[in-house]
Amino acid sequence: MQVKLKIFRYNPEVDKKPHYDKYEVEADPTDRVLDLLEYVKGNFDGTLSFRRSCAHGICGSDAMRINGRNRLACKMLVKELGTDKILVEPILGLPVIKDLIVDMEPFFANYRSVLPYLINDEPPPKKERLQSIEERERFDDTTKCILCACCTTSCPSYWANEQYVGPAAIVAAHRFIFDSRDRAGAERLRILNDQFGVYRCHTIFNCTEACPREIQVTKAIGEVKRAIATGKIE
Ligand code: SF4
Ligand code: F3S
Ligand code: FES
């Protein structure tokens, strides 16, 4: 099939404002949008810039807006779009460095702010810190995050105020708050009870819809809100 690609282009070093370039490419319905971008870069314009690494939905580096929705270009098949017109733009709410590449630093600063690592200063047992199957299941869903930023950059609350810590950071916090081996849950809840914490979430659900790992993001945020409200981590 013949596909009409329209791609956001912007190089802040030379362009006064962004523009769109159009390309017509031959595609197989099972091609991924990433394949089309690679084709354009290899055959039409080597200056087209976008991030990618694994090409298999694991590294989280190629989040972009495809026909208006946040998706990983390496997981989005042409046939799933249901059209031969494909619009590719950078994710919203983060500064564009060039074309489809955004500055992820504000995103990672929010991530770091919730202490996204296991904290336990108690002396370790002889073998390991044991955990039951049920205790492990409690936070299983939020372990799947690949930090792609599809959720945070699809959230209207984040667009309205980029100081909002955002759903990805809350998912990262959830993963440790509900880990029975961790001892810093109360500290993370204190951080997220801030004016730019969980209560900036108005349950809009864009994050859950956008997550390529199918994490129940809004549910996880709700569980963190409940833990703050009740003072109980359970
Ligand atoms: Fe990406 Fe999902 Fe993690 Fe958000 S929760 S950063 S959408 S993998
Ligand atoms: Fe935003 Fe998701 Fe909440 S889209 S408002 S973080 S449910
Ligand atoms: Fe790694 Fe798409 S290139 S997730």
DSSP β-bridge partners for residue 8: 20
Instruction: Looking at 10-102, list the stretches that DSSP marks H as alpha helix, in order from N- to C-terminal side.
Output: 33-43, 78-81
Domains of the chain (ranges, CATH numbers):
2-102 (3.10.20.30), 105-230 (1.10.1060.10)
Q: Round the CA-based radius of gyration of the chain to a whole number and report it.
A: 20
CA distance 79 to 118: 41
Q: Which of 35, 51, 59 to mutate to test the pocket of ligand 3 (most atoms within 8 A of CB)?
A: 59
Pairing status of strand 2-9 against strand 85-89: parallel
Q: In the prediction, which pLDDT does 188 show?
A: 98
Q: In the prediction, which pLDDT does 173 show?
A: 98
C-alpha of residue 25 to centroid of ligand 1, in Å: 30
Q: In the prediction, which pLDDT does 125 show?
A: 93
Q: In the prediction, which pLDDT does 93 show?
A: 97
Q: In the prediction, which pLDDT does 99 show?
A: 98
Helix crossing, 167-177 with 185-192: angle to 10°? 160
Coil, strand or helix at 93: coil
C-alpha of residue 207 to centroid of ligand 1, in Å: 8
Which helix (H) or strand (E) segment holds residue 225: the answer is helix 217-230
Q: Which of 56, 75, 145 to mutate to test the pocket of ligand 1 (most atoms within 8 A of CB)?
A: 145
Query: Could you report the per-residue pLDDT of 181-220, keeping only the tens digit for each?
Result: 999 999 999 999 999 999 999 999 999 999 999 999 999 9
pLDDT below 70 — which residues of the chain? none
Coil, strand or helix at 26: strand
Query: Degrees (nearest 5) of the Cα angle 82, 75, 165?
Result: 110
pTM of the model: 0.96
C-alpha of residue 168 to centroid of ligand 1, in Å: 6
Residue corresponding to tokens 């690494």:
53
CA distance 234 to 228: 11
CA distances from 145 to 150, 207, 212, 216 (A): 11, 12, 9, 11
Query: Degrees (nearest 5) of the Cα angle 188, 194, 196?
Result: 110
Which residue's alpha carbon is nearest to atom 1 within ligand 1? 148
CA distance 195 to 178: 22
End-to-end Cα distance, the chain = 52
C-alpha of residue 216 to centroid of ligand 1, in Å: 10
